[in-house]
């Protein structure tokens, strides 16, 4: 943080420009602890390193730990650099399967007419991890699942699923449509948080036959920690398309499998002409956009089981990246760093997007801070989180379905 360092950096870069007889494009990449966000952009700007229009500043999360601190970070960044120079990374946006959401929705006429409250019963997003906090206890203790995953990755998935069709693929057009979704999230009422938000923390348990320790026994974690390693929310969007369609989100560490999936559950047909025995194992029609580890899409629908009687069974129509494309999907960071190089900000978050996501989760953060959990740890490692997460859906007769990855047959070897 020594000011001399920045002056030396500026001098070195100027020397290089002279040597190369060009004005080189400069990209500064900040993957630094949050407190450094305040200083580095300002110092870069003070020595003149922010002034070239084509200079870019890449910023890793966390952008703040709540709305106020996020605003402060954004203020500092935009004091030093123009918003168009700032690339806020969310690595989920670099995943092929996430980018494919827009292709699937807006390049095919098939589902978009159904993509609304008239045909969709609810949307359920699961981002499950098998890993614990690994070596990141110090960071995670201050973050927890809501800040670490929901405020960014899961809300980005919500906005891609729920956004209106863009007029063009211009970066700001896409981002405007996404931010509209975040702004439509109905503010959660402080004294009703317990009915729409669930938190959990893992105790010791077993994953893949291996014993794993409790969160409170992980390195750099307080033995009495109240940090949540699991979070689930029910969100409502106040707009015409999604009125009364709940969006359920869940994420957690030390869950039984690694799986990120978006499940679109369609409404039942208005009238079922089949006799009850025809659909004795009736399963709702679901479209599953699987982000990882299986990369693809599965439509679960009804078919007549072969035989003389009319018996319905749920069957799969399936698209997998691996079977359809010869080239393997690039790593999310590879894609995003290329976008930075070619100056395409479409898959990066604007300041207003980050702040709108914080606004959405603030009531939960505040309610949880005001009432520390008295039941932690409340789920065993290797299970699907606390019971209350099941109840969140069960109250309205819904349920979480096990991700595709639970059926080992669908996971590529
Ligand atoms: C990061 C979180 O942003 O995403 C980690 O900080 C998490 O806690 C990771 O493990 C998950 O990313 P992926 O790509 O493995 O789903």
pLDDT at residue 209 above 60? yes
Same domain, yes or no, for 127 and 45? no
Q: What is the pLDDT at residue 205?
A: 98
Q: DSSP letter string over 100-137? A: HHHHHHHS-TTTGGG-STTTEEEEEEEEE-S---TT-H
Same domain, yes or no, for 84 and 96? no
**Three-class SS state of 46:** helix
Same domain, yes or no, for 59 and 161? no
Same domain, yes or no, for 72 and 33? yes
DSSP 406: G
Same domain, yes or no, for 236 and 364? yes
Using the 3D structure, point to which of 41, 70, 88 is the last residue of a domain. Answer: 88
Which atom of ligand 1 sits closest to the CA of residue 129?
A: 10
> Which residues have CB under 8 Å from 271's CB, separation 6+?
none
Q: What is the pLDDT at residue 284?
A: 93
**Three-class SS state of 371:** coil
Same domain, yes or no, for 192 and 74? no
> Which residues have CB under 8 Å from 380's CB, separation 6+?
202, 203, 204, 205, 206
Q: What is the pLDDT at residue 281?
A: 77
> Which residues have CB under 8 Å from 222's CB, separation 6+?
141, 216
**Which residue has a Cα nearest atom 8 of ligand 1?**
148
Pocket test residue of 148, 258, 292 for ligand 1, highest count of atoms within 8 A of CB: 148
**Which residue has a Cα nearest atom 15 of ligand 1?**
129
- 19 within domain boundaries: yes
pLDDT at residue 1 above 90? no
Same domain, yes or no, for 64 and 209? no
Pocket test residue of 129, 135, 260 for ligand 1, highest count of atoms within 8 A of CB: 129
Q: Which of the following is catalytic: 153, 243, 271, 302?
A: 153
Q: How far is the CA of 155 from the centre of ligand 1 (A)?
A: 14
Evaluate whether 298 touches 101 at the Cβ level (below 8 Å): no
pLDDT at residue 412 above 80? no
153 annotated active-site: yes
SS3 content of the chain, % helix, strand, coil (to 5): 40, 20, 40
Tens of pLDDT along 34-69?
Answer: 788 878 999 999 999 999 889 999 999 989 999 999
Q: What angle do CA 381, 383, 384 make, to 5 degrees?
A: 125
Tell me, using a 6 A CB cutoff, whether residue 148 lines ligand 1.
yes
- Strands of 26-119, DSSP E: 27-30, 56-59, 86-88
Tens of pLDDT along 308-357?
Answer: 999 999 999 999 999 999 888 899 999 999 999 999 999 999 999 999 99
Share of the chain above pLDDT 70, in %: 98
- 339 within domain boundaries: no
Q: How far is the CA of 277 from the centre of ligand 1 (A)?
A: 44
Sign of CA dihedral 99, 105, 110, 116: positive
Q: How far is the CA of 92 from the centre of ligand 1 (A)?
A: 9
- 340 within domain boundaries: no
Residue (of 403, 156, 145) closest to 256 by Cα position: 403
Tens of pLDDT along 382-409?
Answer: 999 999 999 999 999 999 999 998 865 4
- 318 within domain boundaries: yes
- 294 within domain boundaries: yes
How many of the other CB atoms lie within 10 Å of CB of 129? 19
Same domain, yes or no, for 122 and 182? yes
Same domain, yes or no, for 25 and 157? no
Show the domain range for 20. Answer: 3-88
**Which residue has a Cα nearest atom 2 of ligand 1?**
148
- CATH code for position 70: 3.40.50.720
φ, ψ at 381 (rounded to 5°): -55, 140
Q: What is the pLDDT at residue 295?
A: 96
- CATH code for position 204: 3.30.360.10
Q: What is the pLDDT at residue 411?
A: 42
Binned at pLDDT 50, 70 and 90, residue 413 comes out as very low
pLDDT at residue 137 above 60? yes
- 265 within domain boundaries: yes
Q: How far is the CA of 250 from the centre of ligand 1 (A)?
A: 14
Same domain, yes or no, for 188 and 232? yes
Same domain, yes or no, for 386 and 313? yes
Binned at pLDDT 50, 70 and 90, residue 410 comes out as very low
Same domain, yes or no, for 103 and 70? no
Which atom of ligand 1 sits closest to the CA of residue 131?
A: 10
Which atom of ligand 1 sits closest to the CA of residue 140?
A: 8
Distance, in Å, from the CA atom of 65 to the CA atom of 42, rounded to the nearest integer, reads 20
Using the 3D structure, point to which of 66, 88, 110 is the last residue of a domain. Answer: 88
Evaluate whether 263 touches 257 at the Cβ level (below 8 Å): no
**Which residue has a Cα nearest atom 6 of ligand 1?**
148
Q: Please, what is the angle between helix 155-162 and helix 351-370, to 10°?
A: 130
Higher pLDDT, 198 or 276: 198
Q: Is 238 exposed, middle or buried (0-12, 13-18, 19+ CB in 10 A)?
A: exposed
Distance, in Å, from the CA atom of 400 to the CA atom of 51, rounded to the nearest integer, reads 50
Mean predicted confidence (pLDDT) in 204-225: 97
CA distances for 97 relative to 91, 100, 145, 272, angstroms: 12, 5, 22, 34
Tell me, using a 6 A CB cutoff, whether residue 129 lines ligand 1.
yes
Domain count, the chain: 2
Using the 3D structure, point to which of 88, 114, 139 is the last residue of a domain. Answer: 88
φ, ψ at 284 (rounded to 5°): -65, 155
Q: How far is the CA of 359 from the centre of ligand 1 (A)?
A: 22
Residue (of 89, 69, 72) closest to 28 by Cα position: 89
Distance, in Å, from the CA atom of 92 to the CA atom of 336, rounded to the nearest integer, reads 10
Mean predicted confidence (pLDDT) in 92-106: 97
Tell me, using a 6 A CB cutoff, whether residue 90 lines ligand 1.
no
- 336 within domain boundaries: no
Q: How far is the CA of 143 from the centre of ligand 1 (A)?
A: 13
pLDDT at residue 173 above 90? yes
- 58 within domain boundaries: yes
**Which residue has a Cα nearest atom 13 of ligand 1?**
92
Count of residues for the chain?
Answer: 413
- Which residues, listed in sequence order, are joined to residue 57 by a DSSP beta bridge? 28, 86
């Amino acid at each position: 943080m020594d000011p001399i360092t920045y002056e030396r950096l500026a001098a070195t870069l100027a020397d290089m420009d002279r040597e190369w007889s060009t004005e080189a494009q400069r990209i500064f990449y900040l993957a630094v602890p949050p407190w450094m966000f305040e200083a580095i952009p300002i110092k870069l700007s003070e020595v003149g390193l922010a002034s070239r229009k084509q200079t870019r500043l890449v910023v890793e999360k966390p952008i703040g730990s709540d709305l106020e601190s996020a605003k402060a970070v954004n203020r500092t960044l935009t004091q030093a650099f123009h918003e168009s120079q700032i690339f806020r990374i969310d690595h989920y946006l670099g995943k092929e399967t996430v980018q494919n959401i827009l292709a699937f929705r807006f390049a095919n006429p098939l589902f978009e007419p159904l993509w609304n409250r008239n045909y969709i019963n609810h949307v359920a997003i699961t981002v499950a991890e098998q890993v614990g906090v690994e070596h990141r206890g110090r960071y995670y203790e201050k973050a927890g699942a809501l800040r670490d995953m929901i405020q960014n990755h899961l809300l980005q998935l919500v906005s891609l699923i729920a956004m209106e069709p863009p007029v063009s693929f211009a970066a700001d057009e896409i981002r405007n449509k996404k931010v509209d979704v975040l702004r439509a999230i109905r503010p959660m009422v402080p004294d009703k948080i317990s009915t729409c938000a669930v938190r959990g923390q893992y105790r010791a348990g077993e994953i893949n036959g291996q014993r794993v320790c409790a969160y409170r026994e992980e390195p750099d974690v307080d033995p009495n920690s109240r940090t949540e390693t699991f979070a689930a929310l029910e969100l409502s969007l106040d707009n015409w398309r999604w009125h009364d369609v709940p969006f359920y989100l869940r994420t957690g560490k030390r869950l039984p499998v690694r799986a990120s999936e978006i499940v679109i559950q369609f409404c039942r047909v208005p009238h079922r002409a089949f006799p009850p025995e025809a659909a004795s194992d009736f399963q709702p029609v679901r479209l599953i956009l699987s982000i990882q580890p299986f990369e693809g899409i599965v439509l679960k629908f009804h078919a007549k089981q072969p035989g003389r009687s009319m018996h319905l069974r749920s069957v799969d129509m399936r698209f997998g990246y691996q079977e359809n494309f010869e080239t393997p999907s690039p790593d999310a960071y590879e894609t995003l760093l290329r976008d930075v190089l070619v100056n395409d900000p479409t898959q990066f978050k604007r300041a207003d997007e980050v702040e709108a996501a914080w606004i959405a989760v603030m009531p939960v953060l505040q309610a949880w801070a005001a009432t520390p959990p008295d039941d932690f740890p409340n789920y065993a490692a290797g299970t699907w989180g606390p019971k209350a997460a099941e109840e969140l859906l069960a109250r309205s007769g819904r349920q979480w379905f096990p991700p595709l990855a639970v059926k080992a047959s669908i996971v590529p070897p």
